[in-house]
Amino acid sequence: MFTAAIKSYSRAIELEDTRVFALIECGNIFLMLGSFRKGIEQFQQALKISLQNMSALYGLASGLLGMAKECRNSGAFRWAASLLEDARKVAEASIKSAGNSSCTWKLHGDILGYSSPGQLTYAQVFPWTEESQSLEYNAETFKKSIYSWKNTCGLAAISARNSYQRALHLAPWQANIYIDIAISSNLISSFNQDNTLDKCTWKLPEKLTLGALALEGENSEFWVALSCLSDCNALKQHSLIRGLQLDVSLAYAWAYLGKLYREENEKKLARQAFDCARGIDPSLALPWAGMSADAHTGDSTPDDAFESCLRAVEIFPVSVDITFYALPKLAEFQIGLAKLALLSGNLSSSQVFGAIQQAVQRAPHYHESHNLNGLVHEARMQFQAAIASYRLARYAINISLGTVLKSHLKDISTNLARSLSKAGNAIGAVQECEDLKKEGMLDAEGLQIYAFSLWQLGENDLALSVTRALAASVSTMDRISAAVSVSFICRLLYYISGPDLAIGRILKMPKELFHSSKISFIVSAINALDQNNRLESIISSSRYFLASQEEITGMHYLIALSKLIKHGTKHHLGFQNGVNHLRKALHMYPNSMLISEVWGNSQVSSRCSIVDDSDSKNKEGLKSAWEISSAGAVACHAIGNSEPRFSFPTCSCQCTSSGAMQELQKCLRREPWNHNARYLLILNLLQKAREERFPVNICIVLERLISVALSNEFYSGKEAICQYQKFQIYLCASEILLQRGNIMGCIDQAKNASVLSLPDSFQFFGHLLLCRAYAAEGNLKFSKEEYERCLELKTDFLVGWLCLKLMESQYEEQPASNIFELAFKEGSEGRNNSWNMWMAVYSLGMGLICLWNQDFLSAEEFLEQPCSLTSAESCIFLCHGVTSMEIARRYHDSQFLSSAIRSLSKAYITSSVPIPIVSALLAQAEGSTGSRKKWERNLRLEWFSWPPEMRPAELFFQMHLLARQIASESDSSSRVEGWQSPLQWVLRAIHTNPSDLRYWKVLPKLL
C-alpha cells in the first residue's frame, strides 16, 4: 500500500510541483519505510517551496535523525554525530517558527539525547577523538581532552533533558516524555558521577518512570524502563515480570531478566530467561553476551565465549534495546569482548580491533579501554600505537577519582614496558621497569622485560643479576609462568654467556624446572649447538611433556635440524641425516604438513645438483609452499619439462614445479611489493629462457623485470640476503645480455655483480661470467685474467668448477693443475650419494672437452667412467653411445659398436621420457650389426619419441626406408610406416627439408 501511495504522490508532484503536501506525505512514507535518504530529499524539496513549513522541517529533522541512527547502528559514530548536528539545526529552525510544539521539542531532545524509549543519539554518539591525531599526549592535555569530551556529552545530555522538559511542559499528559527525561537524567548522572541528588527516597529517574507508569500503567516498555533505571534488584525483577505479564513476547525484558538472574547467581533461571529472549528475537545482543559470560565461567572454552561475545558486539550496534537503559556502561560489550579475546588469543582479529576502537571512542575515561586498546595494538604489531595507548591508560587511571587497584597500574606499566621493549626502545623500557621496581611492583614478567631490555642495552651484568632475581622467584610461580621464566632464563643465559656457560648453568638448575614442552624446545635448540650433547638427559626427561601433534612434529623438525648441524661441516649441512630422520618422522605422522614441507625442501636441497643450496638453506626458516616449490624449481633446473619441445629432461628427481611460474605470478599479482616473489620469478624465467634457448620475448620480459627489481629499495640493504639476491639479479641481467649478443652490457652488469661484497664462493660466479663474456668478445687476454681470478677465489659449488673447466679448454696452453680434481674431492665430501653424480658430471664435462678437440678415444675413456658410476643418467649414456659409435665408424671397431648399443639401450631404458635420436642411433647401430628386426623396431620407436610438430625430414626419410622394407610383407597396415606409401614419406621429407639432395635422388625411383 505504501509503495502505491508513493507512486500516487509522485504523480501528484509531477502534475503540480508547487504544493508541498504531496512532497511531505511522500517523505513521511519514506521515513516510515526506513528510506531516510529518499525521505530527506522529499522534505528538502518541500522546504524549497515553503521555507518555514513545520511539517517539512519536522520530517527533515526526523529523517536526519533516522539516518544518524542508522550510521550509529553500523558503528560510524562520527558520521552519525555530524548528521545529528544537521538534524539539530533543522529542529531548532522549526522551533524558532513555532515554539509550542511539544513533538518538535521532543524530537529536539531525541536528537540531543535519546528518542523514544532510549535510542541513544548525540550525547552518546559523540565520540572522543584524539585531538590533532598526535600521539604526543601528556597527562595534562589528556585530562583536558577527557574533560572536554565529558563536558560535550554532558552538555548535550543536559540540553536534551531541557528539551524534553519543554516538551513535557507543553504536553504534560504524554507519558513517554517522562521516560525520556528519566533516561536523560540517568545519563547526566552517569557523566557527572554524582549520585548525591537524592534528597528523597526515590532517585529522579526512577521517580519519573513511576510518573509515566502512573499515567500508563499498562505500557510494558515503561515497566522494562523502570527495571533498567532502578537500582534495587527486587524492584527490577518485579517490574520486568510485570512487563512480561503485560507482553510476554518482550525479548529484551527476558534478556534483562536473564541478566538480573545472572547477577543474583541464579544460573539456571538466567539461562532459561536468555533462551526465551533468544527464541523471541535472535538478534538481541544481551543474551549472546550472557551466554558468553556463562561460557566463560562455566566449563566451555574461552573460544566459545569469545564467539558469543563477538556475536553480541556485532549485533550490538544494530540492537536498539541493548543500550536501552544500561547507559553508564556504554562500552562494556566491547571491553568485555577484548578481555575475552585476550583469553582466547584472538587479540589480533579485526573484529576485536574495531570493537576496542569503538570502546575507546565511547569510554575514553575508562582506563581499561585504553589498556586493552594497547594490547590489541600490540597483538597487531603496532607497538608505537600500543605505547601511546598504555600511556593514555595510565593518565586515565590518574584522572579517575575512585580508588583504582594498584594491580591495574602495575599491569598497565608492565604492558607499557613490554611494548617499549618490543618497539626497540630499550631505554624507555628500562626506565619503566625501574619505576616499577621503586613501587615494588616488579613481577616475573616485569623482571623478564627488565632483564631483556638491559641485555639489549648491553648491560649484561645487570641483566644477569636481574635474571638471578627472576630465577629466585621461579619456585613461587605457578607452572605456566614458571616455565616461561625458565625458558627466558635459558635463552638469555645463552645469549649473554654463550652456549658453554649457559649449558653449565642449566645443568645446575633443578631438573623439575624443565618439565614443560616449551622448555624442551629451547633446551633442545641449545643442545643442538653443543657437540658434546651435555644436555641429553634433561632433554630426554623434558620431552615427555610434548603432548600435541604439532609439538611433536615441531620437535622432530628441530631434531632433524640439529642433526643437520651436528653432522654437517662448515658449508654443507648433514642433509642426509636430517632427511633420514624426517623420513622416519613422516612415516609416523603422515599428516604433518610441516614435516613434509621441510622434508621436500631438504630433499630438494640435498639431491639437486645445481647452485643454490645456500639459497635453499635460507628457506628452511619455514617459508610458504610456493616459495619452496619455486626455489626448488630453480634448483632443479626443471622448469617447463611438461612440454618437451625444447628439452628432454633426464633428471629422475622431477620437481613438481610445472606450476611454479604460475604460482609466482599469482603471488606477484597479489603482492606487487613482494621482492622475493619477483626475485624467484626472475630466476625461474631465466631458467625457462635457458631451456628455450633465450627467445627474444622472454629476454625482454626478463630485462624489464630485472630493472623493476633493481629499483626496489630492498636491494640497497647491506644484509647478506639482499646482497646475495642483488648479485643473482645482476648475474641474470648479464647472462641475458650475453645471450642476446650485447657483450658490453653484459660485462658492465657482471662487473656490477662482482663489486658486491659477498663471500668468495659467490664472487667466483661473477668472474666466471666475466670470463665467458670476454671470451665471447674474443678478448682472450682479459678472459684469461678473469679465469685466473676465479682460480684464486675458489668456490664451494661444483658446477662452478665445471664451468670453469669448460672455459679452460678454450685457452691454448693447458695449466697442468689438478686443482679441479682436488676441488671436486673437497666439494663432494659429506655428500655420499651425490658424489658419484658429481664425478659423473665432471667426467661428462671432460669427455665433452675431448670431443671438442676431436679426441674421441680419450673422450670415450672419460665417458666410460660415469657410465659405470651411475645407473640413472641417460644423457651420459647417450654421450657415451654417440662417442662409441663415432669411434666405431672411424676405426671400424665392432667392439665399440657393441658398447655403443649397450649404452644407448641403457639411455633408452633409464630416461623417463623417450629421448629422440637415441632410438635412431640404436637402430643404426643394430642395423650395422645386421639385426634387421631390431633396426626396424628401434626406428619405429624413434618415430614416437619425437613430438609431432618437431619431426625432422630425416625421420620421414627413414620411415620411407622402413615402409619400403615392409612393402613386400603382408600385414603392413598396422604399423606406423604403413600409414603412408614410401613415396608419400619421401614427399613429406622433401616438403620438410627441400634442400637435401638425397631425398630428391630417391624420388624418381619411387615414381
Partner 1 sequence: MAKSMKLAGLKSVENAHDESVWTATWVPATNSRPPLLLTGSLDETVKLWRPDELELVRTNTGHCLGVVSVTAHPSGVIAASASLDSLVRVFDVDTNATIATLEAPPSEVWQMQFDPKGTTLAVAGGGSASIKLWDTATWRLVSTLSVPRPEGPKPSDKSSSKKFVLSVAWSPDGRRLACGSIDGTISIFDVPRAKFLHHLEGHYMPVRSLVFSPEPDGRKLYSASDDGHVHVYDAEGKAIIGAMSGHSSWVLSVDVSPDGEAIATGSSDKTVRLWDFKMRAAIQTMSNHTDQVWAVAFRPGGGGRLASVSDDKSISLYHCS
Using CB under 8 A as the binding rule, whether residue 207 contacts partner 1 is answered as yes
Task: With contacts defined by CB under 8 A, name the span among 210-218, 424-432, 525-533, 847-855 that binds partner 1.
Answer: 210-218
- How many whole angstroms separate alpha carbon 1006 and alpha carbon 47? 102
Task: With contacts defined by CB under 8 A, name the span among 164-172, 365-373, 376-384, 478-486 that binds partner 1.
Answer: 164-172
**Cβ distance to partner 1 smaller for residue 100 or 283:** 100
Residue 219 C-beta: closest distance to partner 1, Å: 10
Query: Quick check: 408 and 397 in contact, CB under 8 A?
Result: yes
- Return the C-alpha cell found at 794: 675458489
Contact residue for partner 1 among 72, 166, 296, 964 (CB under 8 A): 166
Contact residue for partner 1 among 185, 292, 592, 754 (CB under 8 A): 185
Contact residue for partner 1 among 17, 78, 97, 99 (CB under 8 A): 99
DSSP letter for 133, please: G
Residue 217 C-beta: closest distance to partner 1, Å: 7
Residue 475 C-beta: closest distance to partner 1, Å: 59
Using CB under 8 A as the binding rule, whether residue 165 contacts partner 1 is answered as yes
**Backbone region of residue 854 per phi and psi (left: phi > 0; alpha: psi in -120 to 50; beta: other values):** left
- How many whole angstroms separate alpha carbon 385 and alpha carbon 374? 7
Strand, coil or helix: 782: helix
Helices (DSSP H) in 637-719: which residue ranges? 660-670, 675-691, 696-711
Nearest to 118 by CA among 54, 72, 83, 79: 72
Using CB under 8 A as the binding rule, whether residue 151 contacts partner 1 is answered as no
Alpha-carbon distances of 680 from 608, 633, 665, 913, rounded to whole Å: 17, 10, 10, 27
Contact residue for partner 1 among 173, 440, 587, 719 (CB under 8 A): 173
Residues numbered 299-338 forming contacts with partner 1, rule: CB under 8 A: none
Kindly report the CA angle at 546 between 381 and 529, in degrees rounded to 5? 75
In the stretch 247-286, what mask flags binding to partner 1 with x, by CB under 8 A? ----------------------------------------
**Cβ distance to partner 1 smaller for residue 208 or 444:** 208
Using CB under 8 A as the binding rule, whether residue 210 contacts partner 1 is answered as yes
Query: Quick check: 242 and 253 in contact, CB under 8 A?
Result: no
Using CB under 8 A as the binding rule, whether residue 175 contacts partner 1 is answered as yes
Residue 115 pairs in a beta bridge with 119
Using CB under 8 A as the binding rule, whether residue 947 contacts partner 1 is answered as no
Contact residue for partner 1 among 197, 622, 625, 822 (CB under 8 A): 197
Using CB under 8 A as the binding rule, whether residue 215 contacts partner 1 is answered as yes
**Cβ distance to partner 1 smaller for residue 112 or 270:** 112
**Cβ distance to partner 1 smaller for residue 204 or 496:** 204
Q: What are phi and psi of 317, to 5 degrees?
A: -60, -25
Strand, coil or helix: 119: strand
Task: With contacts defined by CB under 8 A, name the span among 135-143, 163-171, 652-660, 693-701 that binds partner 1.
Answer: 163-171
Question: Cβ-count burial of 954 within 10 angstroms (0-12 exposed, 13-18 middle, 19+ buried)?
Answer: middle
433 contacts: CB under 8 Å, gap ≥ 6: 417, 442, 446, 449, 450, 453
CB count in 10 Å sphere of residue 102: 18
Nearest to 775 by CA among 758, 760, 790: 790
Contact residue for partner 1 among 13, 68, 87, 212 (CB under 8 A): 212
- How many whole angstroms separate alpha carbon 505 and alpha carbon 497? 10
Query: Quick check: 320 and 72 in contact, CB under 8 A?
Result: no
- Report how far Cα 903 is from the mean position of its chain's Cα atoms: 51
Task: With contacts defined by CB under 8 A, name the span among 167-175, 447-455, 534-542, 887-895 that binds partner 1.
Answer: 167-175
**Cβ distance to partner 1 smaller for residue 163 or 448:** 163
Number of residues that bind partner 1 (CB under 8 A): 29
Residue 182 C-beta: closest distance to partner 1, Å: 9
- Return the C-alpha cell found at 959: 620411415
- How many whole angstroms separate alpha carbon 721 and alpha carbon 560? 24
Residue 42 C-beta: closest distance to partner 1, Å: 27
**Cβ distance to partner 1 smaller for residue 116 or 656:** 116
Residue 119 pairs in a beta bridge with 115
Residue 189 C-beta: closest distance to partner 1, Å: 10
Contact residue for partner 1 among 51, 214, 507, 909 (CB under 8 A): 214
Task: With contacts defined by CB under 8 A, name the span among 97-105, 356-364, 675-683, 714-722 that binds partner 1.
Answer: 97-105
For 763-810, what is the HEC assignment?
HHHHHHHHHHHHHHHCCHHHHHHHHHHHHHHCCCCHHHHHHHHHHHCC
Task: With contacts defined by CB under 8 A, name the span among 193-201, 452-460, 699-707, 839-847 that binds partner 1.
Answer: 193-201
Using CB under 8 A as the binding rule, whether residue 183 contacts partner 1 is answered as no
Q: What separation, in Å, do the N-terminal and C-terminal C-alpha atoms of the chain show?
A: 93
**Cβ distance to partner 1 smaller for residue 161 or 394:** 161
- How many whole angstroms separate alpha carbon 953 and alpha carbon 993? 6
- How many whole angstroms separate alpha carbon 684 and alpha carbon 665? 11
Contact residue for partner 1 among 70, 216, 703, 886 (CB under 8 A): 216
Residue 101 C-beta: closest distance to partner 1, Å: 9
Query: Quick check: 905 and 891 in contact, CB under 8 A?
Result: no
**Cβ distance to partner 1 smaller for residue 42 or 184:** 184
Residue 120 C-beta: closest distance to partner 1, Å: 21
DSSP letter for 401, please: -
Given the rule CB under 8 A, which residues bind partner 1?
98-100, 161-162, 165-166, 168-169, 172-173, 175, 178, 181, 185, 197, 199-200, 204, 207-208, 210-212, 214-218
